[in-house]
């Protein structure tokens, strides 16, 4: 059995789909559906059971499950603007810590989601070398909650027993419930569809023009392939970047959306909210050499190909979900 926390969420439900493609359906999904639209991510997927996250951990520790092959821990509060620090530490750090302890004690494969938000403004670089972890200074509480768990993993000597993934800017199907945290690809698609244009934040950094701020954009399907590769290789452990390895501009991204929709680009630039200006990353790029040296075949979609697949095979269709 595979257990996927956050299994109704963006990357989690994507990985359920990936396991289904690999012929696996013995899957327990752990999440908190509440009154959100996340349940729609599950409709096309095949799995054994669903359990609320608050019920799962006590049941796991009590020994209610047997035959667990792997726990893929994607569950977290992923909002970069969440201000409740106690909630983030409890949900993103303590919960993760308890899961990791259980997996170590029971020899269960444990793969978890870290985040590129741990790198802060990027002034300290984006190296996923283990010696670099202690130097990082996240810009927001979400990034810090992820950093706390990375540091705990290192301190506990678990870097050779678990696999953590620092996801960069992931876009793709099944992100529709994420509201403000949806990718700019999806936001741009509907802006173009409704108004014929896209609005991006202005730059407040002299080295970057408007829309020329850079991010490492990575397509969901490429992330799922890497995760599947890791699940099957228990000997590959540590914390790894998971991005495309390239830094592209926001202008590049939205132009790719226009191109996928066969519409001429029209881009406007708007003021960035004051509260974001001091916490804004102007450049991210995930060096991927460490994962490549571990033997992972990195054959990623280009930004344009990933956007085209997402727009034409999901966003523009009546059923835009994986499955």
**Do the beta carbons of residue 194 and residue 263 sit within 8 Å?**
no
Of the candidates 197, 202, 195, the residue with the CA atom closest to the CA atom of residue 265: 197
Q: How far apart are CA 119 and CA 133, in angstroms?
A: 9
Tokens representing residue 153 in the block:
């993993």
Q: In the block, which residue shows the tokens 């994962």? A: 291
Does 142 qualify as catalytic in the annotation? yes
Does 178 qualify as catalytic in the annotation? yes
Cβ count near 235 (within 10 Å): 7
Q: How far apart are CA 178 and CA 120, in angstroms?
A: 22
Q: How far apart are CA 167 and CA 286, in angstroms?
A: 9
Catalytic residue among 142, 144, 219, 314: 142
DSSP 29-87: EEE--TTSSGGGGGTT---SEEEEHHHHHHHHHTT------EEEE--S---TT---HHH
Tokens representing residue 243 in the block:
């991005």
Catalytic residue among 40, 53, 154, 178: 178
Q: In what order do the strands lie in the sheet with 49-52?
A: 49-52, 27-31, 2-5, 70-73, 109-115, 163-167, 238-242
To 10 degrees, what angle do helices 220-231 and 303-310 make?
Answer: 100
- Catalytic residue numbers? 142, 178
């Amino acid at each position: 059995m595979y257990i996927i926390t956050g299994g109704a969420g963006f990357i989690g439900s994507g990985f359920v789909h990936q396991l289904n493609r690999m012929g696996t359906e013995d899957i327990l999904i752990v999440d908190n559906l509440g009154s959100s639209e996340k349940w729609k991510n599950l409709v096309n997927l095949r799995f054994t059971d669903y359990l609320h996250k608050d019920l799962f951990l006590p049941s796991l520790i009590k020994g209610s499950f047997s035959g667990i092959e792997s726990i893929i821990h994607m569950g977290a509060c992923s909002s970069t603007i969440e201000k409740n620090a106690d909630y983030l530490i409890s949900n993103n750090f303590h919960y993760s810590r308890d899961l990791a302890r259980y997996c170590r004690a029971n020899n269960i494969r444990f793969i978890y989601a870290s985040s590129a938000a741990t790198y802060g403004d990027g002034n300290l670089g984006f190296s996923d070398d283990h010696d670099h972890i202690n130097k990082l200074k996240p810009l927001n509480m979400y990034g810090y909650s992820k950093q706390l768990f990375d540091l705990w993993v290192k301190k506990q000597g678990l870097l050779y027993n678990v696999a953590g993934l620092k996801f960069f800017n992931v876009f793709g199907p099944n992100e529709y419930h994420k509201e403000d945290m949806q990718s700019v690809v999806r936001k741009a698609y509907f802006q173009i569809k409704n108004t014929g244009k896209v609005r991006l934040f202005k730059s407040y950094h002299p080295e970057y023009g408007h829309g020329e701020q850079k991010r490492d954009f990575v397509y969901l399907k490429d992330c799922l392939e890497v995760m599947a590769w890791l699940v099957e290789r228990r000997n590959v452990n540590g914390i790894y970047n998971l991005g495309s390895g390239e830094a592209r501009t926001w202008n590049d991204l939205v132009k790719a959306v226009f191109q996928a929709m066969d519409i001429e680009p029209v881009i406007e630039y708007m003021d960035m909210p004051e509260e974001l200006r001091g916490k804004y990353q102007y450049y991210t790029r995930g060096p991927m050499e460490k994962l490549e040296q571990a033997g992972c075949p990195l054959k990623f979609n280009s930004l344009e190909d990933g956007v085209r697949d997402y727009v034409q095979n999901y966003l523009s269709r009546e059923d835009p979900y994986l499955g």
